[in-house]
Amino acid sequence: MSDFPDALKVWRRTRRFSQLELAAEANVSARHIAFLETGRARPSPAMIGRLGEALQIPLAARNQMLTLAGFATRYPARQWDVSEMAPIRAALEHTLEQHAPYPGIAIDRMWTVVRLNRPAQVLFGQLGMAEGSSMLDLMASDELPPLIENWPDVAHHAAQRLRTESAAQGGVAKLDRLAERLAAVPGGSGKPIGPVTPTIYRTGTMRLSLFAIIAQFGTPEDLALDDLKIELFFPADSETELALRAMSDEP
């Protein structure tokens, strides 16, 4: 994307909006959208914000669109240790720690682990995962499949999620490559075994069946928060519930 008109067209087509549909969503005329895409009209920062909201464009891409239009970027990328982030750090730590004895992690948009609670450290530490580790690299390795009892089903669901996340970001080659690789894993039942498809870990005599709820920060105004996802894992059966409590030394 070399200029603002090109960037706008790419995102509109990525979201599968017509010019008329985007105009209605952003509360402007279709003619103005056409003029913006041909370069006959120049957007204001406020207009770029409205278009970004209408198209659900990630904050990093909105910064890029502002730069292409000749404006300063709006959304910063604060470091986790600055004072402004203290309430965010507290909320993240509270969420993860209160989730014990069940595992909870926070990852960024490229699936790099940002935080783990203690149960997650115990469980995923056995897979070599720690803060700064890449879950993408783990899924692409030969080490994970033998530890997942229902690997084909898990791989196919992971491929769908990766494709969805890539599309939401406007296309991310690394996510797309891994999605293609996981989608090609042979096997899988293809049939739902319940309301969710759990991931069934098996190491030695331990068998854990877990499903996850994914949460994000609402109304982010910072790149770090826009990228962050919190995954809270829950037991899918009573045996896993007991095993997690035993691992965490919970009564």
Considering the domain delimited by 83-247, tell me its CATH architecture: 2-Layer Sandwich (3.30)
Domain extents in the chain: 4-68, 83-247
What confidence tens digit (pLDDT) does each residue in 149-202 have? 999 999 999 999 999 999 999 999 999 999 999 999 998 666 656 788 899 999
According to CATH, what is the number of the domain 4-68?
A: 1.10.260.40
Q: Which of 47, 102, 220 is nearest to 8 (CA)?
A: 47
The residue behind tokens 């952003």 is 26
Average pLDDT value for residue range 140-149? 94
Q: How many CA atoms lie within 13 A of 123 on its CB side?
A: 30
pLDDT reported for residue 51: 97
From the centroid of its chain, how far is CA 91?
A: 18
One-letter identity of residue 123: L
Is the confidence at residue 250, as pLDDT, over 60?
no
Q: pTM above 0.75?
A: yes
Q: Which of 240, 250, 233 is nearest to 116 (CA)?
A: 233
pLDDT reported for residue 205: 83
Average pLDDT value for residue range 50-78? 96
- Other CB atoms within a 10 A radius of the CB of residue 191 amount to 7
